[in-house]
Amino acid sequence: MRIIRVIMTTIAILSSLSGFAQSTPYKFDFGGALGMSGYLGDANTSSLMKHPGFEAELSFRYLPDSRWAFRGVLSTLSLSGSTADMEDVLPSTGEPSYDFKSTVYDLGARVEFNFFSYGIGETYKRLRRWSPYLTVGLGVSMSSSGGTTSVAPNLPMGAGVKFKLSERVNLGAEFTMTKVFGDKVDGPLLNDLNTIKTSFYKNTDWYSRLTIGITYEFGKRCETCHYVD
């Protein structure tokens, strides 16, 4: 798909820009985040913040260098929506409006690119204590709504900023949009309302996450120092 090609091209460009990345003192980090979730789909087509929910997540990163990170994320979030204030709806419930509440469990893997060499260290490494970053990945969503459970693959895309409180402790804020390749996050009754399948954003559900989190680095990297005359 076009968006996949764009993502792969972007990653290739970023890879070429990070040829001088420095290694980090630690190989891994682990942490958690809390925040707000939002839903966009058949029961809400206008604003992500119209029916905000709660989101919590755990994450684990492998840190190959100061520019890149590979991250696993396990999260749970609550979503809700309503067609009561929408004009273009065709509820299949026979009721004038449709409301739903859904609990979603999301498991995924992502790659992160830091715009600056991120870390605390010697000045010659040109490390910065903070950095904005981009993230993209693949995952799977399991949603439960209206007594029905569904599973579908997803594609998370986002951006954030991270700051080192100390050598090992990091504070971060992140916003992601996740496209679910399915149409049952909002329950089984709003499935393909308008029967339009030609667009990437039609007839599938999205959810957003705005989080603030903290992580702790561990796994000391063994580095050999070579003296150059």
Query: Does 29 have pLDDT greater than 70?
Result: yes
The string of DSSP codes covering 131-166 is: EEEEEEEEEEEEEEETTEEEEEEEEEEEEEEEEESS
Query: Does 117 have pLDDT greater than 50?
Result: yes
- For range 214-225, the mean pLDDT: 84
Statement: 28-220 belongs to CATH 2.40.160.20: yes
pLDDT of residue 185: 83
Judged by average pLDDT, the poorest of 31-35, 86-90, 108-112, 177-181 is 86-90
Please report, rounded to a whole number, the percentage of residues in the chain having pLDDT higher than 90.
Answer: 53
Q: Name the more confident of 128 and 199.
A: 128
- For range 200-207, the mean pLDDT: 68
- For range 37-41, the mean pLDDT: 88
Query: Does 62 have pLDDT greater than 70?
Result: yes
Query: Does 196 have pLDDT greater than 60?
Result: no
Q: Are 62 and 69 in contact (CB under 8 A)?
A: yes
48: Cβ contacts below 8 Å, ≥ 6 apart: 38, 39, 40, 208
Where do the structural domains in the chain lie, given as residue ranges? 28-220
161: Cβ contacts below 8 Å, ≥ 6 apart: 130, 131, 132, 133, 172, 173, 174
Q: In the chain, at which residue ranges do the beta strands (DSSP E only) sit?
A: 26-40, 53-62, 68-82, 99-114, 130-145, 148-164, 169-180, 206-220
pLDDT band at residue 129, thresholds of 50, 70 and 90?
very high
pLDDT band at residue 44, thresholds of 50, 70 and 90?
confident
